Amino acid sequence: MEILNTREKLVLEAIVRNYILTTSPVASSFIAKKSRLHLSPATIRSIMAGLEEKGLIYQPHTSAGRVPTTLGYRLYVDNMMGRTRLSRFDKEKIRQVVHENTGDIEMLLNEATRILAHLSQQLSVIISPPLEEGIFHRMDISRLSSNRLMLIISIKSGLVKTIVLEIDSKVRSEELESLRRILNERLHGLRLKQIRQKFGEIVKDIRKDESGLIRVFIETAARIFNFSQDKEVYLTGTHNILRQPEFADHEKVSGVVELLEDKNVIIHLLDKSTAREQLNITIGEEIGEQMMENCSIIAARYKIGQVAGTLGIIGPRAWIITTWCRWWILPRKFFRSLIMCDRILRPAVEKM
């Protein structure tokens, strides 16, 4: 990474910030007039020439001002961009999402993408973890009627799955309690995938099955323990992308939207963005997709128990750097509060 002197840093910062505000090339005369650098246009032009040689800015056409390159944005993000805290309003929005969707992973992630898109005014994406890799915590069994049982399966993290099971014969309360205790003892600590595949083997030595309940469980194990094997993609805010001035060119935005309609592409982009770090910012050409060269991605890893997912915000390349830099911190704080704590549904929002 290039090492800049104080003047070069100040001029690059002025170009980045003013380009974001105006989406127009930034001229030396504009910087001299509007900034507090107290430098002449000639001096600023000389500094710009040096920044251009270093690949940090470029001139889109003769007589135009300068525009940051991806390398220029990267230098700014890594070395000059400030940090900020979430507002009380944003914290309350996050808190509300959690409390209104207790225990329901699908509703939680749907609402999380919606609120993330609303707060950032960009495209929000959340990739669910493969929950079948989750660890079984406990099962509760209760009677709904003479031939219907309700099973509540909890995995380590606080998430639950509720299933109604039809049975042919009456089952005594003592037998239900005995089965619940035995299953919790044998299944505790096992991965859901393992339980689903080998449930018959796990319970094959249970001899007492007067009501046939064990047989019913064996026959329906695939449904009972069928937590999603695949990563689900929750995406909200495409309309936000369409409103951005950087995507006024229909050809540019249609290519981005078309690319993001492919679930596998989204998973690849976000997983690649966070392959080495818990939170990462990827800018322009760094994304590795030609259609996305005018975009930026902020992606963060989160955990539900022992399994990991990814969330991200996708927007124009210049969008990522704002005066207050709120959106760098939003993905990290959002899911650190919701999920990266031991009890997913008790976020420590007040610590943010």
User: Given this model, what pLDDT does residue 35 score?
Assistant: 77
Report the candidate in 111, 124, 93, 109 with the shortest Cα–Cα distance to residue 239.
Answer: 124
For strand 279-283 and strand 295-304, is the pairing parallel, antiparallel, or unpaired? antiparallel
User: Given this model, what pLDDT does residue 42 score?
Assistant: 92
Cβ atoms 28, 69 nearer than 8 A: no
* Cα(352)–Cα(339) distance, integer angstroms: 14
pTM confidence score: 0.72
**Three-class DSSP category at 40:** coil
pLDDT tens-digit profile, the chain (352 residues): 568 998 999 999 999 988 888 888 999 998 988 877 888 999 999 999 999 999 999 998 887 899 999 999 889 888 877 665 667 777 777 767 666 655 567 777 888 888 888 888 889 898 887 777 778 888 898 888 878 888 888 887 666 778 888 887 777 888 888 888 988 999 988 988 888 888 888 888 776 666 677 888 888 887 888 766 567 888 998 888 888 877 777 777 777 888 888 888 888 888 887 766 667 888 888 888 888 888 888 888 877 666 778 888 888 887 766 533 454 455 555 555 444 333 333 332 233 3
* Cα(288)–Cα(290) distance, integer angstroms: 7
**Rounded to whole angstroms, what are the CA distances from 153 to 25, 88, 306?**
58, 35, 16
User: Given this model, what pLDDT does residue 216 score?
Assistant: 83
What domains can be seen in the chain, in order of their start residue? 6-79 (1.10.10.10), 88-130+230-351 (3.30.450.40), 132-224 (3.30.390.60)
